[in-house]
Amino acid sequence: MQTVGIVGVGKIGLPIAENLIKNGYRVLGYRRSSMADFEEIGGIPARSPAEIGAQTDIVLSCVPSAKALDEVVLGKHGLVHSARPGQIVVELGSHLIPDKEKHVAPLAAKGVAFLDGEVGGTPSMVRARKAVVYLAGDEEAAKKVEPVIRGFTDVYHYFGPFGSASKVKLINNLLVAVHMAATGEAMALALKTGVDIDLLIKAVAAGSGGSTQFGIRAPMMAQEHFLPAMGTAVTISHYFDLIGDLADRAGVATPMLDRAAELYAHCIDMGLGEHDNAVMVEVIRRLPRAQKRAKTKAKVGKKTKAKVRKKSKKVKAKSKSRGRKR
């Protein structure tokens, strides 16, 4: 029976451990708080990351912050102290890429491959093996760890150079944030129109305007089912600075995300930050309709369209002129 280590058996780490145990792995785990729920599913508690590293060849880490990751890898009882050649450590938490990357060299000096990993999905999706796992970094190490990854998910992708997994996760979460906010806006409007909401949800979900988030959240919004939460504004907001850092370094504007981030901040200010993101419909319902601004934008739109039509006529005229000269 292969032993796998998990540092951070929390919201994501615990269902990962549960699936691995169900698939015949012996799982050694650690976290600073109580591990009673981990022991209940058959996990074996450890006293430190170093203790886990001393007994396992593959260690999965899933911690919430760069500071926690520093402690796990380089701390007094960190993985670096029990590191040995051939060992593989995978960080599945979301952090700034440089905060992950700085651990590659210290572990490599001990013969350990440190991989950039990410989990795309909620705890319930992880439990149901529907979460997407991304890995990046040393290809040989990724191949060796793949059977373990497939022990807790049915969807896995290897993306190449270190940092690529983090980039893909952040791009994914940009879309998640925007889609949830857009779903809230669409449903706030739909609920005021008097149409058959159940039929509308079915039609839109299967149509060109549908999305995964619409399919999940629209029914929750219609029923005002905001607790218990699958995912919260507080949780998704954690990614905004990470996405912003990636966009800053790439030199790419994020106007849709910037607006969505304002709405999530408003949601938290309203005291709804720990409700499910379906509560975005309530956040938007409480906003006033900015009619003057809407009219101004409409006028600008008309002017812009007029300019485009005028320019198009000039291009066509020049084209005809060239044709006559020939």
> Of 177, 172, 170, whose CA–CA distance to 267 is shortest?
177
What digits encode the pLDDT tens for the residues 105-130? Answer: 999 999 999 999 999 998 999 999 99
**pLDDT per residue as tens digits for the range 225-252:** 999 999 999 999 999 999 999 999 999 9
Percent of the chain with pLDDT over 90: 87
Asked if pLDDT for residue 77 goes beyond 90, the answer is yes
CA distance 226 to 278: 6
The edge-to-edge listing of strands for the beta sheet with 113-120 is 44-45, 26-30, 3-7, 58-61, 88-91, 113-120, 132-136, 155-158
The answer to whether 232 and 280 have CB atoms below 8 angstroms apart is no
Domains assigned to the chain: 3-160 (3.40.50.720), 167-285 (1.10.1040.10)
Mean pLDDT score of the chain, rounded to an integer? 92
What pLDDT, on a 0 to 100 scale, did the predictor assign at position 290?
79
User: Which is more confidently placed, 292 or 165?
Assistant: 165
- Say if residues 293 and 283 touch (Cβ distance below 8 Å): no
The answer, yes or no, to whether residue 33 has pLDDT greater than 80, is yes
Q: Which residue has the higher pLDDT, 1 or 189?
A: 189
Token digits for 86?
A: 């051939």
Q: What is the pLDDT of residues 179-196, one digit of tens each?
A: 999 999 999 999 999 999
Q: Are strands 3-7 and 58-61 parallel, antiparallel or unpaired?
A: parallel
Looking at residue 305, its pLDDT comes to: 55
* Residue 4 confidence (pLDDT) above 60: yes
Residue 61's SS3 state is strand
The yes-or-no verdict on residue 168 having pLDDT over 80 is yes
Q: What pLDDT does 324 receive?
A: 52
Find the helix or strand (DSSP H, E) in which 108 lies.
helix 104-108
Reduced to 3 states, what is the DSSP secondary structure of residue 250?
A: helix
Residue 326 predicted with pLDDT over 50: no
Mean of the pLDDT values across residues 142-161?
A: 98
**Which residues have CB under 8 Å from 274's CB, separation 6+?**
229, 232, 234
Cα dihedral across residues 80, 82, 87, 93: positive or negative: negative
Question: What is the structure's pLDDT at 1?
Answer: 85
- Give 290's Cβ-side CA count (13 Å radius): 7
Span 270-309, pLDDT tens digits = 999 999 999 999 999 999 997 655 554 555 555 555 655 6
Check residue 310 and give its pLDDT: 60
DSSP H helix total and E strand total for the chain: 15, 8
Whether pLDDT at 322 is above 80: no
Residue with tokens 């450590």, as numbered in its chain: 89
Q: Is the pTM of this model over 0.95?
A: no
pLDDT tens digits along 198-219? 999 999 999 999 999 999 999 9
Strands 113-120 and 132-136, by their bridges, are antiparallel
Percent of the chain with pLDDT over 70: 89
Provide the pLDDT for residue 318: 55
pLDDT of residue 117: 98
Residue 137, phi-psi category: left (phi > 0), alpha (psi -120 to 50), beta (remainder):
left
pLDDT at 296: 47
**What mean pLDDT comes out for the span 63-78?**
97
